[in-house]
Structure 1
């Protein structure tokens, strides 16, 4: 059964369709949740809570074509609830880091542990609304329209947040490179 038919069957109460949709979307929802929370147990909880809400609210799904955005919106809200409850900022995994570090940036000159520490510190500085659009775009490969639907933001807001998050990352990379160069030069002068 294709995804469209599964969603339609799920909306009509078909349990098999729900299980099939769960199996298709559980990994992307877990990955998104993990990148937002950087805690496997919490990400697992969010994934379960997300699909419980999907199941309980299937009658609210109006457009079959919006299922993916709807699921990620629920997951996003659950993540934000966990962040608020925990009162903490979250870090980025090493896998996620590789997506941001191109071979042309000073970040790529750092060893992996330096990169993880750098991006973790950077993400601690980001507001959740910047972090989430960066994760949805870079790690979940959602397009701007899907991100706008998930975050309930305008397309221009999504683009602006991504631009600002990437600009802040670029500024931090340049600062880190300048510090690295100063350390190297200071070492030569000794």
Structure 2
């Protein structure tokens, strides 16, 4: 928890509701992005983001500071998304995991590197949208929000080692999806180069 977050949390505990608006403003984009990655629906993500901040406000007294405030907010977001998914069973898209060798993963990485930045980001984002809810969430925390394995573990209630294994599997799933979205001749070129 940054000292800055701690300052606002103390202000809120003394009755300053405006201080909560600062925290909401600081974390709203992050919460919305995480919810959107899991739910893959803008309206649902907006509702979950609102629900998350209501829960954060109501349970702020229980925040002990053993983890970063952002990690605590991620955890509430994650759990709120899971609750929403349980309610609406229509959120599901699973891709099978093909067995990829390190060489094939490297070929896909090289093919991605060959795309211009905007095109690469769009391709990766489209592929992440095909992952299931939890996988999208984990990959977002790791690659977009640069959280450590330990921080992700605290967020989703797993050990850092389990997070590492899950991220490895997710990367293989993502490779399977990317392979379907990239031009086959581009991938074949990089496989021949090896």
TM-score by length of 1: 0.72
Any residues of structure 2 matched to 1:53-68 within 5 Å, and which?
A: 53-63=55-65, 66-68=68-70
Structure 1 residue 78 displacement after superposition: 1.1
- Measured in 2, the distance between the counterparts of 1:77 and 1:55 equals 15
- Selected match of 1:180 from 181, 184, 188: 184
Gaps of 5+ in 1: 92-101, 185-190
Distance in 1 of aligned mates of 2:40 and 2:25: 22
Q: Any residues of structure 2 matched to 1:105-120 within 5 Å, and which?
A: 105-106=110-111, 115=123, 119=127
Per the TM alignment, residue 175 of structure 1 is displaced from its structure 2 partner at its CA by: 6.6
Residues 128, 174 of structure 2: 8 Å contact kept = no
- Residues 82-125 of structure 1: per-residue CA shift (max 9 Å, x gap): 2222211269xxxxxxxxxx98444567896x9479726741xx
The aligned length equals 169
TM-score norm. by structure 2 comes to 0.70
Q: Is the 8 A contact 2:78 2:155 kept in 1?
A: yes
In structure 2, the residue matched to 1:83 is 85
Residue equivalent to 1:138: 143
* Structure 2 stretches lacking a partner, 5+ long: 95-106, 189-194
**How big is the shift at 1:158?**
0.9
**Relative contact order, CA 8 A, sep 6+: which one is greater?**
2
SS of the counterpart of 1:2? helix
Q: Is the 8 A contact 1:37 1:90 kept in 2?
A: no
CA distance in 1, matches of 2:8, 2:125: 42
CA RMSD across the alignment:
3.5
Contact 1:106–1:173 (Cα < 8 Å) also in 2 = no
